[in-house]
Structure 1
């Protein structure tokens, strides 16, 4: 029989437990019996065990004292406390010391077995259950992908793919994750075809038949819920993907109740200066340039590209007849700004609307490209998600929200675009004015692999300004990144497997808008 695991059982009446130990031995466990805490601590210095069964009421070194010392030595070692005493304070102290489970004497052998299985097989059992459930849904997802989904159905498909990505990520099944990633790649291939076929038509009919886009986000999803006298926060976290949101949602729901979770579509290019300006102006970039030629900056022009968001937003509020609201715009680009927001958050409660632009996640993705240490820390989707979640949990933004969670407020959390991990290089040639972005480019006389991009030789068809008479915009598909032939291999190796944005993928274009209220 294969070994099920190594158990250390510590009880001052260990001789009376021979039948239970024999039962576990017959089930394939190796059990080391000891009668006191001192011997247990000595043994744990020398021997690796999977679980400790620990009697709470032992003479000399008590169970709780032994537990404390075990956790000092081996903080991750699972300990099951066995006690005669159900007194609340005993259990509270034990739970506070991070026991994994507890059993009340007299213990039944099957009870012990169940606890061990829960601890040692839990992850495997969850993994098996997740694998079976995903296998059952795999065919449904495959059929949905091949059934010409519309823009609403694409949102639901993406939600399901993210759900399985997070579930399989928890279960640690690398084989299933590989299958899912293949299915996600197929989804992105179909999504690119869908966007290529429909995008120009949606822009032409002013979005009457298409999805909700960036420039209609505030008017459609946020403005109807704003009331004078009730503080509302609109938080735009740059480059926040839907799977990032789902990963830290449980942290938010400790303080807030989610009243609506939806997805909307970023305009192209999925880059901050286009999407975020569109959100704040309530206009497509071509119309922003037309109405505000001095404030709009094209890629090849000098100056900051997102310096006029507050100005654009004031104009949108006026257009929506909401300019009587008391509102404020706050931009967070560094830790000092973030600390100021946290320290002064109560002052914003006198506003009807406070808009917060938070730039951290975008900086993280750029830093990950530039810094080797972050490439190691966020080497794949799971670790990148984990890094974003860890940032949010310990961020001044989270602390600021917690400070005001007791008040009667509503919060909208959204983003301007997502990002995707790029793997496939594609050669692109342009003149000196051609933009440097890896997922989209515009310029004169662009030469490119047409199968790798969505191209607009007339930018107006994509709702975009025309920087030069013969400007062409191209948007990379799926996991493609655009490289110049000069020094080609160096750039391919440098940028491959980095997270980029600007092109056409579900992760970049289909992004979250969340409405929540304090509990």
Structure 2
């Protein structure tokens, strides 16, 4: 491909050696000696880059730049000037130039600037692909080892790193290879959870990860003090890769103090995992200690928030039980106006030791994605889902709230209750009318299924501290990217839910949860 360069300079004849140099490198160079001529050519012809002299008679380079950006906003412009004035540089940079060169020019300096623009994506993609290929084998070999929970967390974070790096490349040529590696990792991780999960609860040791019911005790309560308020923000259903996408915006206002993680309990759902967080207990313990508060996830209910109406009560009970004397507040944000109200009343929060804020947007988005064709079109894969989440965040009251916290040099912990995975492969299952509707786990007393190797079966829920609505209740959890489907209307059901984001089962994406601590700059 031959790139076309337009060069506008009132002394263009003196630049002939540089033009010949660029043409010798394969570029096609067109020249004009005024800003007005540059405008006319750019409006009528297609160029890949514009060299623009800042100090031309008539229209200055900056004036030309402002006009060109109106109808060719994506045309890369390299500003060239004799001046080193800081104010001029700032004006040019603020006008979104691609580069800034100062005369006298150097041929290699010109070439480097052009390559940075034309070849940046290609060179970055090549470097990313080579680096990932070098780590590919090392990651695959790790799956064969006897790994503990921390090592699995480290592997997951590496996979996310490469997923985000590959996502920024132009052709995403290694995306399929990475996706296959993630699938392989999830297959091994599911076996790891199946083998170790009960022991973590029955016989915890030094390799047992922090689980949902201990998360506040380990990561949040130790940071409560009377010197400054602590803001604990739980954005439900937020995966590690989504947090990474939001982090670049948050770090404009906060310092990242620590990046930790914990493991969600099973089922990886709001009804179980988030109640366990706030109660500081496993679900069966909550059902036993607060029988009038616990609601069983059964039948045809799709309203997850209906199971989480007691979070503030559970939180206060846990604080009392641990003898933590802290002035606290609790806010659940389900609608946009609630988020705005919280921002408006921010000064009241500043008088508390602990402010707990639950943001339900991401969970609502994931369910909306399942049922709304428009959202499906907007978020057909993980990359688009991250982008959609980032777009929401940038325009959300939550971001406004974080900015206010940063202004007061506040401290923030951001986490979630569980992640989610894009489901692909159906497992046929049969249950009675009281079987719950979740696609990633089922509980019931008369369950029958195919492909037992694709799920984790628990016939004694008490062993993993899950409640038993009936004596014969069994829990089953889908592994990897599988989803449960009933034989009735099987094809229609699978077509509707395949390629949607779901939670409740066993996967790296659902189980390994970020816990991030920030302090305001």
Give the TM-score normalised by the residue count of structure 2.
0.97
Shift in Å at residue 208 of structure 1?
Answer: 6.3
Q: Which runs of 5+ in 1 are unaligned?
A: none
State how far apart, in whole Å, the 2-side matches of 1:111 and 1:274 are. 60
User: Which residue of the partner structure matches residue 498 of structure 1?
Assistant: 500
User: Which residue of the partner structure matches residue 154 of structure 2?
Assistant: 156
User: Which residue of the partner structure matches residue 341 of structure 1?
Assistant: 342
- 1:206/1:298 Cα in 2 relative to 1: closer, same or farther (>3 Å)? farther
User: Which residue of the partner structure matches residue 277 of structure 2?
Assistant: 279
Counterpart of 1:508 (choices 507, 510, 519) is 510
State how far apart, in whole Å, the 2-side matches of 1:432 and 1:211 are. 36
Single out whichever of 205-214 and 309-318 deviates more from structure 2.
205-214
Single out whichever of 241-250 and 414-423 deviates more from structure 2.
241-250
SS at match of 1:350: coil
1:471-482 pair list within 5 angstroms: 471-482=473-484
1:6/1:31 contact within 8 Å kept:
yes
Shift in Å at residue 207 of structure 1?
Answer: 6.7
- Alignment deviations for residues 121-171 of structure 1 (CA, whole Å, 9 cap, x no partner): 111111111111111111111111211211010011111111111111112
User: Which residue of the partner structure matches residue 466 of structure 2?
Assistant: 464
SS at match of 1:290: helix
State how far apart, in whole Å, the 2-side matches of 1:205 and 1:108 are. 69
User: Which residue of the partner structure matches residue 451 of structure 1?
Assistant: 453
SS at match of 1:445: coil
SS at match of 2:101: strand
User: Which residue of the partner structure matches residue 418 of structure 1?
Assistant: 419
State how far apart, in whole Å, the 1-side matches of 2:84 and 2:226 are. 53
SS at match of 1:426: strand
State how far apart, in whole Å, the 2-side matches of 1:126 and 1:188 are. 28
Indicate yes or no: 2:325 matched with 1:332: no
Q: Which runs of 5+ in 2 are unaligned?
A: none
State how far apart, in whole Å, the 2-side matches of 1:279 and 1:248 are. 23
User: Which residue of the partner structure matches residue 99 of structure 1?
Assistant: 97
Shift in Å at residue 502 of structure 1?
Answer: 0.4
Shift in Å at residue 116 of structure 1?
Answer: 0.2
State how far apart, in whole Å, the 2-side matches of 1:26 and 1:153 are. 53
Shift in Å at residue 374 of structure 1?
Answer: 1.2
1:232/1:410 contact within 8 Å kept:
yes
- 1:208/1:137 Cα in 2 relative to 1: closer, same or farther (>3 Å)? closer
1:346/1:404 contact within 8 Å kept:
no
Single out whichever of 442-451 and 418-427 deviates more from structure 2.
442-451
1:459/1:466 contact within 8 Å kept:
yes
1:369/1:375 contact within 8 Å kept:
yes
Shift in Å at residue 108 of structure 1?
Answer: 1.6
SS at match of 1:174: coil
User: Which residue of the partner structure matches residue 427 of structure 1?
Assistant: 428
SS at match of 1:294: coil
1:243-392 pair list within 5 angstroms: 243-300=241-298, 304-322=306-324, 324-392=325-393
1:199-214 pair list within 5 angstroms: 199-205=197-203, 209-214=207-212
State how far apart, in whole Å, the 2-side matches of 1:431 and 1:462 are. 23
State how far apart, in whole Å, the 1-side matches of 2:158 and 2:370 are. 29
State how far apart, in whole Å, the 1-side matches of 2:99 and 2:25 are. 20
User: Which residue of the partner structure matches residue 236 of structure 1?
Assistant: 234
2:405/2:411 contact within 8 Å kept:
no
Single out whichever of 404-413 and 204-213 deviates more from structure 2.
204-213
State how far apart, in whole Å, the 2-side matches of 1:61 and 1:369 are. 54
Indicate yes or no: 2:62 matched with 1:61: no
1:475/1:504 contact within 8 Å kept:
yes
Counterpart of 1:26 (choices 16, 24, 27) is 24
User: Which residue of the partner structure matches residue 402 of structure 1?
Assistant: 403
- 1:484/1:207 Cα in 2 relative to 1: closer, same or farther (>3 Å)? farther
1:218/1:279 contact within 8 Å kept:
yes
State how far apart, in whole Å, the 2-side matches of 1:440 and 1:308 are. 23
Counterpart of 1:484 (choices 483, 486, 489) is 486
User: Which residue of the partner structure matches residue 125 of structure 1?
Assistant: 123
SS at match of 2:83: coil
2:212/2:417 contact within 8 Å kept:
yes
Shift in Å at residue 389 of structure 1?
Answer: 1.4
Shift in Å at residue 209 of structure 1?
Answer: 4.7
2:329/2:352 contact within 8 Å kept:
yes
2:275/2:283 contact within 8 Å kept:
yes
State how far apart, in whole Å, the 1-side matches of 2:206 and 2:464 are. 15
User: Which residue of the partner structure matches residue 80 of structure 1?
Assistant: 78
> Over aligned residues, Cα RMSD in angstroms?
1.3
Shift in Å at residue 206 of structure 1?
Answer: 5.2
1:30-45 pair list within 5 angstroms: 30-45=28-43
